[in-house]
Structure formats: structure tokens, C-alpha cells
Structure 1
Amino acid sequence: MNFKDPSTVLDLNNIRASLVRMEETIVFGLIERSQFFSSPSVYQPNKYNIEGFDGSFMEWLLLQTERMHSQVRRYEAPDETPFFPEELLKPLLPPIDYPKVLASYSDEINVNKDIMDFYVAHIVPQVACEKGDQNQNSGSVSLCDVECLQALSRRIHFGKFVAEAKYRGDPALYKKLILARDVAGIEASITNQAVEDKILLRLKEKCEAYGTDPSLKYSQNQQKAKVDPELIVHLYKQYVIPLTKKVEVEYLLRRLEDEDGQ
């Protein structure tokens, strides 16, 4: 997908291909996280008393990562949504003039707080290899968390591109639904259960493949995946897919504010 070429950005086949690649990033990220303890101290607000920062150690590291990445234009890209948008720094590199594809309010659609909440409360306790802290690994744990959170955020906020593509594919339908504030109708129009089932099956198979040693494929000893494939399926079914739909619905409900966006 080339963000300098709008015709590629809103091609649903290209969008699907991008989403498939993001699945792999998320699966690998969770496999990496699974080698560490749950490490609750890195999520405890002000546990480390970081001067000038009110939050957890992991959140501080995420902020520092976003500030550094913002200097190399990461958050100028249309497919990136920061957790700390007000804290970004001015890029050191010259700006890139990306063609306008999404509506002007697209940056206001941000569900990163929801992503952070479900990741810390529901994903970490299930994916961690043991409960409790490993003080010697606090930094490594938090680095893994930052990578997982950024991957999840990019995947979920990609729903903006799906929503824009669907709107342009049938503007008459969506104008009717938007004017009626028909949230249920919008949700129905963006839902394809067969596609969702295919995603969940593919995720399970990827987790089974990536989380085991291929050299032991024909071993008589049954291998156990590093991350339970059903956990990845649960993650997508209960959180990733619903939050992606939330992004799409919020985007579409405001789409008539920006009719010139096409």
C-alpha cells in the first residue's frame, strides 16, 4: 500500500493484505511477551516515581518511544495513531505531503485508551508465562508491551480506511444511515461474518505454526504453542474486531461533516 497513491490506499484488496500482515506482527509480539512474567509493577501508576510524569513505567516508555518516533515522521503517516498525541515532537526530517484520503477529523477517532485498558487488564495476565514480577526484566517486558500496543493500535485504527472505502463504495446507503443515526444499520453494513470467521481460523493456524519449533513437526512428543492459539482468537473476537468496528462506526457517523473529503 502506497500512501502517496490514493488509488492503492482505498483498494479493499490492499487493505485486506495489510490487515493480514498486521496479524503476523501481533502474533509474534504476543509470543515475545509470553516469555516474561505478568510484571504488574510496570503497570502501576507512579511505582517508579519518574520526575515530571504521572503514570506507569510502561506508559512512560511508550511516551518516550512515541516522542522519539515522532521526530522521524512516524505520526505523519495516515495509518499511525499515537497514544500521546499532545506530547509529540516536531519531526527533524522534512514533512511528507500525503494526499488527502481520510476525512479531516480522522485524527480525532482514537480508541487507544480502550486498547491500553484491555491489553493490560485482559491480555497480559493470560499471555504471561507466570504471575508476579521479574525486576530484572522490567525494561524488556515494557519494550514488548510497547511493540504489542503499537501493533494493536495500527490494526484497529486501520478501520478508518475500511470505513472510507465502504462509504465511497456506496455513498447513498451510508448517507441514509448516517442521517438516520442508524448505528445498528451501520454496524450491519460493515459486518461480514464469513470474513470474520476466516480471520479467526487463520489466526489460530498462524499461532500454532509460529509458536512451535518446525524441526519438531514430526516428533512423537506433542508440542505446545508458546501462546495458546485460542487466546489469540479470543483477543481478536472480544477486543480487536469490536474495537475496529467502533472505529469504523465513529468515523462513518461523522462522514457527512467532510463531504469535500472525496
Structure 2
Amino acid sequence: MDFLKPDTVLNLQNIRAELVKMEDTIIFQFIERSHFATCSSVYQPNHPGVSIPNFDGSFLDWALLHLEITHSQLRRFESPDETPFFPNEILKPILPSINYPPILASYASEVNYNDKIKKVYIDRIVPLISKYDGDQKENYGSVATRDCEVLQNLSRRIHFGKFVAEAKFQSAKELYIELIKNKDVEGIMKHITNSAVEEKILERLTKKAEVYGVDPTNKEGERRITPEYLVKIYKEIVIPITKEVEVEYLLRRLESDY
């Protein structure tokens, strides 16, 4: 997606095509994470098994923070489709800045659901996709690495709701302006919801999980991720939080001239 061309970014067909590509990335990262146990120690602040001097947080937090610091210097978070988990800790890029044209409203970066995404990932997604419930001290680093990758891509996918919201606002300004003025959350939710599209997403995910989720060379047919769990994650977590992002973004849309 070319963020130097706003008209192409705010095309709903282009947005949906990008979301389809993200599905593959997220599925394969779930599969990578499925090779390991839940490893709850990685998520517990100041856990004695992974104690980090002068850091008040979990091993995952430490890994994610330092990854984002490095990525921020590589200009990652200047891109409109990236939302950091630690926005107050990232650094200025070493590379020259890119002057992206305005695509989203001026407050868009403030619509940040990463704390919620991280919590629901740890509490609900990790138990579904992990190999088993238990600990693997020798794999703490591998688990944190996989978690960082999954979280960053889940974040990108969910926060893409801002582009969906902006595209819908631009296509029906009078309707949304009235809903926003009336603070009609229910009305906004009704108009951003496309049940047919959501159903297609779940059907597509079922097919992808059936194909990607099993190693065809494994005679046992052992599944690394099941269609049931993948659909559950999207239906109960990814899609609802994406719509929360859209609603919050739209409720503030009249604050910005663009």
C-alpha cells in the first residue's frame, strides 16, 4: 500500500486486499508460536525466572520495548499504518523523514489500543494457540520473539480500522457528521458493520486454517492451528476491537479539518 497516494489508501477495496494479505502473515505467526508452551513466566512483571535489572515489567515488555526503540530509529513508526506499544519511549529515526501526505485525522496516533491488544493476546490467544499449558525456560527468548512479531502484526491489522473508518467517513460525510454530532455510538457501529464482509472473512479463515494449519508430510495429521480457534480469535477479538478503533476514531472526526 502506497501511503504517498492517499486516494489509493482510502479505497475500501484496496484496504480489504491489504487485510487479506495480513491474514496470511498472522496465521503463519500463530503457527510459529504454536510450537511452544504458554510460558506464562514471560508475561509476569518482575518474574524471578527472567528478572531484568532496572526494569519494572515483564520479559515480553522488555523485549518489545527494545525492539520498538530499534525499529523507531529505522523510521517504522513514521508510517501511518504503524502504532507503537511504547509511544513515549521510541526515538527519532536515523533515516531522513518521509513527508507523508495527510491520510488520517490529526489525532489518529492517539487512537491506540495496544494495551488492550497485548492483554487479550496474553490472556486469551496464547492459551488457544500454544502447544500446551506449561513452561519452557530454555525457550523464553524464542517465545518473546514470536510474541513480538504476532503483537506487532495484530496491532497493525486492528489499527487498520482507522483507514476503514476514514474511507467510510469520506464516502458518506453527511451521515457520519450527523451521527458524530449526536454521539450516536450505536448508529455509528451499525453503519460501520458489514455482516456479509465479516462472514466472508470467517469463511476465508476457515479455509486457510484447513490448508495452512497442518503439515501435509505429517502422517499423523497433527494440527498446528485449528479453523475453530482461528475463527474464534477473529470473531471474538480481532473484528470487535477493530470496530472499537473505528468508532473511537469516528467519534472524534470533527476535531480535525482533515
TM-score under structure 1 normalisation?
Answer: 0.95
AA of the residue aligned to 1:168:
Q
Q: What residue is the counterpart of 2:119 in the other structure?
A: 117
Contact 2:215–2:222, Cα closer than 8 Å, also in 1: no
Runs of 4+ in 1 over 3 A off after TM superposition: none
Where do 1:143-182 residues align within 5 Å? 143-182=145-184
Of 101, 105, 108 in structure 2, the residue corresponding to residue 106 of structure 1 is 108
AA of the residue aligned to 2:8:
T
Contact 2:73–2:95, Cα closer than 8 Å, also in 1: yes
- Gap runs ≥5 in structure 1: none
Q: What residue is the counterpart of 2:59 in the other structure?
A: 57
Q: What residue is the counterpart of 2:244 in the other structure?
A: 246
Contact 1:207–1:225, Cα closer than 8 Å, also in 2: no
Q: Tell me the SS of whatever aligns to 1:101.
A: coil
Q: What residue is the counterpart of 1:69 in the other structure?
A: 71
Of 224, 227, 230 in structure 2, the residue corresponding to residue 226 of structure 1 is 224
Cα distance in 2, alignment partners of residues 239 and 145 from structure 1? 17
Comparing 44-53 with 192-201, greater Cα deviation is found at: 44-53
Deviation by residue 1:24-61 (Cα, 9 ceiling, x = unmatched): 11101100000001101101101133122211001110
**Displacement after TM superposition at 1:225 (Å):** 2.3
Where do 1:11-90 residues align within 5 Å? 11-47=11-47, 48-90=50-92
1:95 partnered with 2:97: yes
**Displacement after TM superposition at 1:208 (Å):** 1.3
Cα distance in 2, alignment partners of residues 75 and 207 from structure 1? 31
What RMSD in Å do the two structures reach over aligned CA positions? Answer: 1.1
Cα distance in 2, alignment partners of residues 130 and 236 from structure 1? 21
Cα distance in 1, alignment partners of residues 220 and 250 from structure 2? 47
Cα distance in 2, alignment partners of residues 229 and 148 from structure 1? 18
Identity %: 57
Deviation by residue 1:131-174 (Cα, 9 ceiling, x = unmatched): 11111110000100000000100000000000000000000000
Deviation by residue 1:63-95 (Cα, 9 ceiling, x = unmatched): 011000000000000000000000001111000
Deviation by residue 1:162-195 (Cα, 9 ceiling, x = unmatched): 0000000000000010011100000000001111
Structure 1 residues 133, 215: CA separation in 2 closer, same or farther (over 3 Å shift)? closer
